[in-house]
Structure formats: structure tokens, C-alpha cells
Structure 1
């Protein structure tokens, strides 16, 4: 009997990870989700992630890695830091949390190892405006090798959004049949406002621009088909 293919999704309840959750459901027999509490200002994202996982019928767990908030100084974990609304020249915006994806994927891999899961899924994207180093393909490939060596286990890290801009991510969510869920029931906003968010923070601006581009392209496509 063929062994079931299982995957563990690093899941924050935002646009990207929710799209990845449903991508995983379309590609694997069994899907699990893990969220992380890392001292972020808006814990609502974990609550929303739990609701989405329940709706999708996916087992969900939360890990506390809030020690990260004591080790870094950024606007996502420190209320005293005023968030950069634009990317500064020659550096990363202060929404960058050093080591976050490395920590998340490492702990996810430990959980996956214990559950006999070989596939890890994350919503990182090199096409993202910020250019965070831990969202790059080279980092993911390097970490994949390191995790395999560290645990002597054949992990594969899947990054279905790696080369997609936000317009293409919206298109993928629509293709997966979860466009409305992603639009209205996820939390991407850095200011902790669900759905379309505050409209001012970098995450909302990027999400909104991608949405407008996708809806415009989709409308034109419909016109051409008539």
C-alpha cells in the first residue's frame, strides 16, 4: 500500500500562508499546520489562523518562540518602534525580524520529523517588495540541506509563492477556490486589522496593489471572452 504524502505548513493566517495551506491541501494527502507566537504585537493573527485551519479541516498547533522578541528590535514586536512605511535605501525596513523564517522552519522541521512528515511548506517569496534575506530562494535551499544533514532526514521545503508577485498570489487563491476566504478572513496587516487591513502599512499597500491588478486583469479577461 502506497504511503500517504504528508505536509506541514508554516501558517500565520495571512494571505500568503493561507494560499499555501490550500495549495498543500491540493497537493498532499494529509496536511498539518503550525503557527508561532514570537512576541508579535497582534496575537489576533494566531486566532484567525486557528479558525482557518479548523475550516479547512487541518490539525493545528501553536509554538511559543517569544524569546525572539527579547533578541531583536523591530516594529512588529516592539510597540515603541515606529513602523517604516517605505523601504529605506540600502537596508531592510524595520519590519524585518532577523532569523524569523530560519527559526520557524527549524522548529517546523522538528515537529515534522516527530510526525514522519517529509514536506514543509512556507509562503516566503523572493518577489516580495522588502527583499528580506530569509525569504530568498538561496536561503531556503541552504536551510533545506542543513535540516536534512542535522536530522539525517529527507525534508523538502516547498515554496509555491517564491516567484509570484501579489497579483499572481491572488490569482492562485482564486484558482484554489478560496479567493473570498483569503480576502476577508485572513490577517496580513501589520497594524492587526483583518481583511483589507488598514491600507497604510507596507503589507496592506502591497496586498491592495496586487488585488487591484488582479481584479483589473480578470475583468479584462472576461471582456475578451465575450
Structure 2
């Protein structure tokens, strides 16, 4: 089986790519530039960590105009990164791009690093969303495309533990894109909640 792995340079997506590698899957990593504030840091971390893990360099889908049009705290520095974090359509956009790329590469599936549903903050992070997305994507691609969320039963504490066990280092998960993690965005707060 071959798979398009959505990668962001963060811990979750890096673990998804490593798990696919460990299963012996041929994979095509895909990084989406959707106009996110942290793009430069994310992409730099993504390239470096995938190289360290012996994984292919990610292809980059350059769609920064999405973030100009669909504003949120993740794309617009004038908005609040925590309170205004929901970016409508973002995960569907990711899956649509990954599915189209999968068709081009002859891959069977796409994977996304969503965690356990009980920590989902937005409607496009749920199991119901993934099931419906798979139906719609398969229909729009003209063939079956599986949508896989290998971490769907994981909480962040589980991801951190498994990533440490597998030696993953050098990821970047802050939504602001600064050299030092802000400690206040959703990505940073996930680590705090799990430590509590």
C-alpha cells in the first residue's frame, strides 16, 4: 500500500509519517502552505525531521491565498491565536489536496494526524468528519481513497510518549512561528494539559 502523509513539522504528523515508514508503506509526504503564520518554522522543521528519519522530502502545496481569504488566529496576526484558532475548511482542504496528490501518485490512502475525538475542538477533527470526508473524496476522485487517522485513539500524552520512544526530536508545533514556543496557542496548550 502507498499513502500520502500530511506533514506539518509538528509532533503528531511526524509520528504518523514514522508509523507509516515502520509499517513499510511507500509514502509521499505533503506539506500544505495555507497561509499559516508559522509556515517558515513548520516547513523548516518538517524538512529536517523527515530527513533525520530517512523519509522523503515533503512536496509543498503552495496555497497561501487560502489564509488571506479565510482568516483566523492561525493565519492573521491581527487576530487572537487561541480564541480565533478555528480555520473553516482547513482539514477538508488538506484532505482534498492529499487525495488529488494520491491519485496522481497512484497511492491508496491519505493520512492525517488527528487525535482522540474527545480532545477535538473543531467539527473537522471528529470521526464523523473523517468518515464523510472519505466518502466525498472517493466520489470526487473517481476511485476509492482511504482516509486514515492513525492517532485517532491517542491523547497528546500518548503521542509524546511514543514519539520519545521512537526518538523523534526537532519538531515544531507552535502556531505563532516564533523561535520560542509561545506557550499560549492551542498547539502549545496541548502539551500543558497533558502535563497537568
The reply to whether TM is greater than 0.5 is yes
How far has the Cα of 1:103 moved from its partner? 0.6
The residue that corresponds to 2:37 in the other structure is: 41
Distance 2:68 2:107 in 1: 31
The residue that corresponds to 2:183 in the other structure is: 199
The residue that corresponds to 1:75 in the other structure is: 73
| CA root-mean-square deviation | 1.9
Q: So what's the TM-score if we normalise by structure 1?
A: 0.79
- 8 Å CA contact 1:199–1:205 kept in 2: the answer is yes
Q: Which runs of 5+ in 1 are unaligned?
A: 85-92, 214-226
Structure 1 residue 9 corresponds to structure 2 residue 10: no
Q: Report SS of the residue matched to 2:4.
A: strand
- 8 Å CA contact 1:186–1:194 kept in 2: the answer is no
Distance 1:167 1:42 in 2: 23
* Displaced runs of 4 or more, over 6 A: none
- 8 Å CA contact 2:115–2:156 kept in 1: the answer is no
Counterpart among 50, 53, 56 of residue 53 in structure 2: 56
How far has the Cα of 1:32 moved from its partner? 1.7
Structure 1 residue 188 corresponds to structure 2 residue 173: yes
Q: Report SS of the residue matched to 1:157.
A: strand
Give 1:67-216 correspondences, 5 Å limit: 67-84=65-82, 93-127=83-117, 129-175=119-165, 177-179=166-168, 181=169, 185-193=170-178, 197-210=181-194, 212=195
How far has the Cα of 1:83 moved from its partner? 2.5
Structure number with greater CO (CA < 8 Å, separation at least 6) is 2
Distance 1:12 1:41 in 2: 13
Q: Report SS of the residue matched to 2:44.
A: helix
Give 1:24-35 correspondences, 5 Å limit: 24-35=20-31
Q: Report SS of the residue matched to 1:187.
A: coil
Post-superposition CA distance 1:43-71 (Å, at most 9, x none): 21012111122222322210111121132
Q: Which runs of 5+ in 2 are unaligned?
A: none
How far has the Cα of 1:138 moved from its partner? 0.5
